[in-house]
Structures are given as C-alpha cells and as structure tokens.
Amino acid sequence: MTDVITEYQKWKQQGEDLRVQAKQAMETRFRELLSEAVRIAEEYRADFGAPLKPALPITAFRYKAAAKSRAKKIIAKQEPARKNDRGTPAPAPPGGKANPKITGLQKRLATAKKKLEEAKAAGKPTQALEDRIYEIEDDLRLAGPAQ
C-alpha cells in the first residue's frame, strides 16, 4: 500500500514540475510574440504612416507607439510648412518644446467642443459636455500659461 502512495506522490511531483516548465515556456513564447508584434507595428507605422490595427476580438493587448516616434513625425510634418511659409515664423514656446500635457488638453478641448456643437445641432442635452469643457479649460489654466 505504501508503494502505491509513494508512486502517486512521485507522479504528482513530476506532473507539477512539468506544469511549471510548461507555464514558463508559454510565458516566454507569449512575450516573444508580443515583442515581435510591437516591432512589426512600429515598422508598419514607419513605412505606411498609419497604426496597424489588431483583429476585433483582441482588445486587451493594444500597443501604443512611443512618444519619440510621434514627436519625430510631428516635427517632420511641421518642417515643410515652415519652408513654404513666407510670412513671419510662429513664436516658439518658451523652453523650445510644447508641453505635451497642454497639447493633450488642447486636443481634448477641441474634441469636446466639436461634440458639444454636434449635440446642439442634434438637439441633445449638452450639460454634461459643457461641464466637461469647463473641466478641461480649468485643467489648461492650472497646467500653465496659454500658448
């Protein structure tokens, strides 16, 4: 009887060891695939200028491109405009770079105002949108001087 129990305990331990090894192998493979997907997404964005969208069922592992690549594209888009512009150049923000927090708030404000106008045109309630615009404007005031 003790042989059966001993055999069972050995079998259970071997199964647990195999389970741990399989878990580690799956985690490693998953990370490798994610890294490869990130590399492909960055290459796609660099080559074609648009983000590569995942399949519809995949929502948990969305990849956002690093801020570095966005900054380079923004600078690249602004340079041709400066070459063609014969007027006076726009004043540079103090410190040389725009505050990304302020830029993001300004974009959110523009989107919220657009939604407010659409809601007014459709005759929908606008109080929530007006409150959101007020909050964003307040955040902008707190973030620093308007640029």
Residue pLDDT, tens place only, 84-111: 444 444 444 555 567 888 888 899 999 9
Please check whether residue 135 lies inside any domain of the structure: yes
Q: Rounded mean pLDDT of the chain?
A: 78
User: What's the pLDDT score for residue 125?
Assistant: 87
Evaluate if pTM is beyond 0.85.
Answer: no
Is the same domain home to 105 and 78? no
Please check whether residue 51 lies inside any domain of the structure: yes
Is the pLDDT confidence value at 16 over 60?
Answer: yes
Q: What is the domain extent for residue 128? A: 96-147
Query: CB neighbours (10 Å) of residue 125?
Result: 9
**Which range has the worst mean pLDDT, 26-30, 49-53, 65-69, 81-85?**
81-85
Helix extents (H) in 49-99: 67-84
Is the same domain home to 19 and 64? yes
Provide the number of structural domains found in the chain.
Answer: 2
Is the same domain home to 138 and 80? no
For the segment 8-15, the average pLDDT, to the nearest whole number, is: 90
- ∠ Cα 79 83 87 (to 5°): 115
| 114 touches 108 (CB < 8 A) | no
| 112 touches 125 (CB < 8 A) | no
Is the pLDDT confidence value at 58 over 80?
Answer: no
Is the same domain home to 2 and 74? yes
